Chain A
Amino acid sequence: MRHLKTAALAVSVSVMAMTAAQAAGHGGKTIKWTSQGDALTLDPHSQNEGPTTAMNGLVYESLVTRDPELNLVPELATSWEPTEDGWMFKLREGVTFHGGEALTAGDVAFSINRAKQETSDFRTLITSVTGVRVIDDYTVELVTDGPNPILPNQLTNIFIMDSGWATENNVVRPQDYAASEETFSIRNANGTGPYIITERLPEEMTVLEANADWWGAGQFPGNVTRIEYRPITNAATRVAALLSGEVDFVLDPPLQDLERIGNTDGLRYETVAQIRSIFFGYDQGAEELRTSNIEGANPFADVRVRKAVSLAIDRNAIQRVVMDGLSVPGGMVASPGVLGWNAEHDTPPAVDIAAAQALMAEAGYGDGFSVRLDCPNNRYNNDEAICQAAVSMLARIGIDVTLDALPRSQHFPKIQNRETDFYLLGWGVPTLDSHYIFSFLMQTGGSWNATGYSDPELDALVEAMLTETDIPARTAMIEQAWDIVQAAEPYTTIHHQVLAWGLRDGVTVPMAADDTPRFRYAVVE
C-alpha cells in the first residue's frame, strides 16, 4: 500500500513536471491576448479581413512580408528582382510545412493560382499576375501583364499552401460563396509559419504552439512559444480581462478606457499612427444632389464649396474633444508611411469661418443649403461622433446638415451604389503606395469613387504609374498626381487614426501601423 502511494506520487509529480514543461515550452513564454473578432476562416485565400489575416499570418507565410516598421523583408523568398516579364523570386531552402512536406516552387505556383481563383478574396491584389513559371525547385517567376513595380508590396498577404495537402483534402479552390457544404480548409490549416494551431474553438479560444522546425527559429528576438487567443466582442469586457490579469495584451481597447489602463499598476498602453485616413467625400459629379434643398444645381460641384467645408472643420477640436487626443489631424487621404505622403499636403488649413463664408458667397451659396451626411457608426474610431461634430461646425457656414448614421453593412452599400451626396469614409493602404489610393478613390470609375470626380490628366498619370519601373520618375508622377488631387479637393480629410494597444508590463509586442501583432518579435519577461 505504501509502495503504491509512493508510486502514485511519483507519477503525479512527473505529470506535473511534464505539464509545466509544456506550458513553458522549454524555456519559452506564453502570451494571452484578445481583440474584438475571431478569424472567420482558416482558409488563407478566402477572406481578406484584418483578424482573419492576422491569425492566418501566424500559421501561413508569404513570399515577402513586412517587419514592425513595415519594411519589406524576406519570408519564404530570400531575394527577388524584376525581370523582362515580371518578377523572379528565389525561395528559401529547407522550409517544411507543418505536415512535414518540403516547400518547393510548385507550392508557390499552386498558391498564387489559388489566390487568383474567382472565389478568392485576394485576387484583386494580384490581377496583374498572368502566370507563374517554375524555373527550378527554388526559383519561381511571376509573369505580369506588363511591368508592375509594386508587385512585392501586393504579395505580403498572399499566403503559400502545400499543393499536395490541398489536393488531398479537396481544397484546390477557396470555398464557393454559394457552396452547400463547408470545405476542409475552413477549420484546418497547414502552413510553414512559426506557430501551429493546436486547439481551436471558434469565438472561444485558439491555442498556437511554436513550430520547432520553423526556418526562422532563433533568428528573431521573440521568445513566445505559446499563444492563447480569446476574442471578446464587448469592449468593456475586453478591458476588464486586461485589468483582471486574465490577458496580457488587448489589441483594440476603446479609446475612452486608455487612461484607466494607463493608471492601473502593472499595465500600460502604447499608441502609433495608423495607416488609415478618415475623410468626407462629396458627390460633385451629379447634376443635382438627392438630399439638398438646392434644385437644378449641385453645390458640391463647385470647388469653392468643398474648400469652404475644409476651412470650417475644426480638426483640432475633433482631435481634442471627440478623439481624446488620439488622432493626427491631416489634409490628405494618405497617412505618413505611404509613398507619396508629404507634410505640406498633409497640413490642414487653419479654421477660418470668415474665409469659408466668403467662398460660399462667391460660389452663390451665401444663404447656405441643406444636405444629408451619411456616416457609419460601427466602423472607425468614434465615427458617428466625428460626424456629429461636423454637423455643428458646418452650420456656422450655413450648411444645414442632417446626419444619417448607420451600421457599416448599411452605410457602405450607399457608397458602392453611388447613393450618397456627402459621406464619411476611411481608407487604409496595405501596399503603402499612393497608387492604391488613386485607383480606388480618385480615378474615373474607381470602385470606391462615389464622388463623380474625374480628371483625364490624373487618370493618365495613374495608368502610367502602374507600369513605370523607373522609381524616381514614378515617384515624381505620384507627387504630380497629389498636386492635382489636392487642388481639386474631391475629398476633405479630417485625420489619420491612431492605434492604441493595452499591455501588461513585462510584455513587449512591437506596434505596427497596420494593426498587426507580430509575435515573432514579441518578448514576454
Chain B
Amino acid sequence: MFSFILRRLLQSVLVMAAVSALSFSLFNFVGDPVNNMVGQEASPEDRQNIRDALGLDDPILVQYVRFLGNAVQGDFGLSYRSKQDVSDMILERLPATLELVAVSAVIALVIGVVAGVYTGIRRDSWLSRSILSVSLVGVSLPTFIIGIGLIYLFAVYLRLLPSSGRAGVTDLGFWRTSFLTVDGWRAIILPALTLSLFQTTMILRLVRSEMLEVMRTDYIKFARARGLSDRAINFTHALRNTLVPVVTIIGLNIGGLIAFSIITETVFQWPGTGLLFIQAVEFADVPVMAAYLMFVALMFVIVNLIVDILYVSIDPRIRIGSS
C-alpha cells in the first residue's frame, strides 16, 4: 500500500510539471501585459523598463525555469494586475469556490440519485419521460445561458433571490463562509444550481442505466421471488449496487466542478478562483494564470489520488493485481 501511494505521488509530481510546462508555453499567446499595466501616456522606454524588470523579453524557457524555481519555494510572485501576492489572492478566493462546488455537488447528488432511481424503476411513467427530456436540456444548453436565464427568472421577474454576488458572508478569520446566514444561502442557490445542472444530468443518467441493469439481474429476481417488498428491493439491494460507479464518478467530477466554475462564477460575479482566472486572462496577468492552473492541476491530482486509494481499499482485485 505504501509503495503504491509513493508511486502515485511521484506520478503526480510529473503531472504537475507537465501542466506547468504546457501552460507556460500557452502564455506566449495571451499578449502583452505591459500595455494593461500602464496608462496610454507611458513612453516606449517606460514600457521597455517594465518589460526588463519583469523579464518578459527572456526566452520562454528561461521564464519557465525562473517560475519553477520560485514556485517550488511556494512563491508565485505578485499579480501584474493588482500587485498583490498571488498565493494570498488564490487563498482569499478559495473558500467561495469550494463552498460553491460543495453545494452544487450535494444538489447534483441528491437530485441525480433520486430522479435516477425513479426514472430507472418507473421508466414508462410520464414523469420519467419529462425528467429525461428536461435533463437533455440541462446537458445541451451552455452554462452561460442557463445562468442568465435563472437570473432573469428568479431575480428580475420573481425577485426572490439576488442576481449576483456573494452577500451575507461571515468572516471566521481563516475562512469566509456563506453558510451561516440566510442571505448567504440565498446568494449561493442560483450559482450552485447552475453549476450543478450538468453533473445532475450525468448522475441521473448513470444511476438510471445502472438501475435498469441491476433490475434485470438474477438476485433481484430472486429477491422478488422471495416476496421482499418493492421498497427493500429498490433501495436496499438495487440502489446500493448502483452506487459504486456513481461515487467514483462524483469523486472525479469534483475537479471538473472547480474547472466549470469559471463560467458560473463569471455570470454570477461569484468572487471565487474562477472569476479571478477570467480577469487574469483578460489582463494577460501571467503570475495569476500560472498559479491558478497549478492549483487546478493540484486539485485534480489530489482527488485522483484519493479515488485511487479508495479503489485499492474497496476493491481487493486492484491490490492483488498491482503486487
Contacts and interface: CB of A to CB of B under 8 A. Distances in A.
Interface of A: 40-41, 43, 46-49, 118, 121-125, 175-183, 186-187, 201-205, 230-234, 236-237, 240-241, 243-246, 378, 406-413, 416, 427-428, 440, 447-448
A176 B32 CA distance: 18
A466 to B, nearest CB: 15
User: Do most interface residues of chain A lie in helix, strand or loop, or is the interface mixed?
Assistant: loop
B82 A205 contact: no
A411 B36 CA distance: 11
B71 interface: no
Contacts of A48: 38-39, 41
B84 A186 contact: yes
25 contacts: A41-B82, A46-B83, A47-B37, A47-B39, A49-B39, A121-B42, A123-B46, A186-B84, A201-B271, A203-B269, A203-B271, A205-B165, A230-B165, A230-B269, A234-B267, A234-B269, A236-B148, A236-B151, A236-B267, A243-B156, A244-B162, A246-B162, A406-B31, A410-B31, A412-B32
Interface in B35-87: 35-44, 46-47, 49-50, 53-54, 75, 77-78, 81-85
Nearest to B31: A409
Indicate the member of B42, B75, B276 with the most A CB atoms within 10 Å: B42
Contacts of A232: 164-165, 269
Most buried by A among B40, B78, B151, B283: B40
Interface string B19-37: 0000000000111110111
Given A203-B279, A413-B31, A448 B40 contact: yes
B100 to A, nearest CB: 14
Contacts of A46: 83
Interface string B130-169: 0000000000000000001001100110010011111000
Contact of B31 (A49, A205, A407): A407
> Nearest 9 CB-CB pairs, A to B?
A48-B39, A409-B31, A410-B31, A178-B53, A124-B41, A413-B32, A409-B284, A244-B155, A240-B163
B213 interface: no
B159 A125 contact: no
Interface of B: 29-33, 35-44, 46-47, 49-50, 53-54, 75, 77-78, 81-85, 148, 151-152, 155-156, 159, 162-166, 266-269, 271, 275-276, 278-279, 282-284
B32 A180 contact: no
Given A178-B54, A179-B83, A240-B163, A440 B40 contact: yes
Contacts of B42: 121, 124, 447
Q: Which of B31, B44, B53, B276 counts the most A-chain CB atoms under 10 A from its CB?
A: B31
A231 B31 contact: no
Contacts of B163: 237, 240-241, 244, 246
A177 B267 contact: no
A181 B166 contact: no
A89 to B, nearest CB: 22
Contact of A177 (B37, B43, B155): B37
A135 B36 CA distance: 39
B275 A121 contact: no
Contacts of A241: 155, 163-164
A121 B40 CA distance: 10
Contacts of B155: 240-241, 244, 246
Contacts of A177: 37, 50, 53-54
Nearest to B151: A240
A179 B282 CA distance: 22
Nearest to A182: B84
